[in-house]
Amino acid sequence: MIDLHTHTIFSDGELVPSELARRALVNGYRAIALTDHMDESNIDFIIPRLVRVAKKLNEALPLTVIPGAELTHVPPEHIRDLVKEARELGAKIVVVHGETIVEPVEKGTNMAAIEAGADIIAHPGLIKPEELQAAKEKGVCMEITSRKGHSLSNGYVARKAVETGVRLVINTDCHGPSDLITRAFAETVLLSAGIDNNLINAVFASSEELVRNVM
């Protein structure tokens, strides 16, 4: 299992990075990105600490730990600058908190994140065709999530992404130990979202490619 969207105590997660990494390893993970919630108030505080702990964990564990960021409820006009800042600070995976149907995310967030070159749009909700086309052109991935609530639009996202040829990844949006999943359960989530068996490996391959590109 590769999971590129998780949270630690640096935002609203329950675990310190070391425990999250250990539990992920025991759960069969091969790679995990630490992508705590960020905006202008805390980005310069969190990312350097995730970079430091990821380096230490990568030296000690047979697990790839990736420092990242999830830009969350950021005004769309600020997203481009924050994506750039996150990368400059050392985030190797930049996720943007997309227009999920269960939170009042500002309209325009999905497109701003795509245009800024984020790696993943998390739980993008009822994403528009023109946004998907832009994501395809820029190589931005859409997320299928196992997170309750956000997962309500998985079927829509999967169908529209497949129709458009946009790459998909599957993540947990993990906030605590019970959110971690196995590869087998991830496959079940993808099947439930309407992803055919012959496309499931392509979803996992997208995550593999992201990890290869940043490590």
pLDDT tens by residue, 4-41: 999 999 999 999 999 999 999 999 999 999 999 999 99
For residue 179, give the nearest of 57, 16, 62, 6 by alpha carbon: 6
pTM exceeding 0.95:
yes
Q: What's the CATH number where 44 sits?
A: 3.20.20.140
For residue 108, give the nearest of 116, 167, 87, 160 by alpha carbon: 116
pLDDT in tens, 43-94: 999 999 999 999 999 999 999 999 999 999 999 999 999 999 999 999 999 9
Considering its fold, how many domains does the chain have in total? 1
Q: Which domain holds residue 115?
A: 2-214
One-character DSSP codes across 136-170:
HHHTPEEEEE-STTGGGGHHHHHHHHHHHT--EEE
Judge contact between 35 and 10, C-beta under 8 A: no
pLDDT band at 207 (very low <50, low <70, confident <90, very high): very high
CA Rg value for the chain: 16
End-to-end CA distance of the chain: 17
